[in-house]
Chain A
Amino acid sequence: MNPFRFAAPPVFYPLAGRLLPWFTAAAVVLTVAGLYVGFGMAPTDFQQGEVYRIIFIHVPSAWMAMFIYLVMAGYAVLTLVWRSKLSAMMCRALAPTGAIMAAIALFTGAIWGKPTWGAWWVWDARLTSTLILLFLYLGYMALVAAIDDTTRADRAGALLLLVGVVNVPIIYFSVRWWNTLHQGASVSLTASPKMASTMLTGMLLMSLAAWMYSIAAALHRVRSIILHRERHTRWVRQLFA
């Protein structure tokens, strides 16, 4: 079986439709489980009290905001090198969800910062680079919407994504490179976690839920984009015959 055949919109469209309910259901189940563990089982933090429970939405959304941008940059390479139509559509489909994730990470961080740091916002390297990430998402969406020629818009957007991808490692390593107010990583692949296991479980469940939600939202949006772009083709017209 040739995996590249899934890059063809007539093949991908029904596949996305079949996958969509599964990812949606997984997102709902994992969110319920994550909130149950996060609010019902995880202990109170001895320093921060109850307000630390914001991490169950803050950390997954921040991770997703960075990860979605990396995925978009990957699709941008495919768009520029192989001129794959579906890759450009996936970039457009992922951008709003990435922007929402970045916005959620920023405002939940601000709400956590007020009782913990005593300030809603500080021009800390981690916060500032995440704000730049949000602007990159918004800039990408504005750019592709401003150019009428779809192919040119896709290529210009892909270039912007590739230029902006340098910001992702800056966000990730900012807490190591600079002396930041934002705390360092509590979860790492190379070190044992610095939190109670139930806290970690709740956070990982919510992170998985954010993954499932983002995939479901992107699949849903890309189906609309495919319909819009391919609306004059025979296969789309036959879908609604």
Chain B
Amino acid sequence: MSDSHLSYLAVAYGLSALALAIECVVLLRTRRQSIEQVRRERDLDLDDHESIADLRNEAAKP
């Protein structure tokens, strides 16, 4: 295999692997962010519900 051809092949496959690796990293990061967002918003809602429940309990007190 001549050196020049080898370098063309290395660049082609190297760049392709890099592009796919970047996509994989972005995929994993997006998934993690989605899960974090679900958890964060659920916790916020739970806090809200607890606050409302506290207020109701306070209001119900004689």
Contacts and interface: CB of A to CB of B under 8 A. Distances in A.
B35 A227 contact: yes
Given A49-B2, A51-B8, A224-B34, A61 B16 contact: yes
B19 interface: yes
Interface in A40-75: 49-51, 53-54, 57-58, 61
B4 to A, nearest CB: 7
A237 B38 contact: yes
Interface in A144-165: none
Main SS class of interface, A: helix
Interface string B24-38: 101100110111011
Nearest to A218: B27
A126 interface: no
A232 B41 contact: yes
A169 interface: no
Nearest to B13: A57
Nearest to B33: A224
Interface in A86-133: 96-97, 100, 103-104, 107-108, 111-112, 114-115
Nearest to B41: A231
A61 B23 CA distance: 14
Given A104-B16, A114-B8, A115-B4, A217 B27 contact: yes
Given A50-B5, A225-B34, A240-B38, 10 more contacts: A49-B2, A49-B5, A50-B2, A97-B23, A111-B8, A115-B4, A115-B8, A224-B30, A228-B37, A231-B37
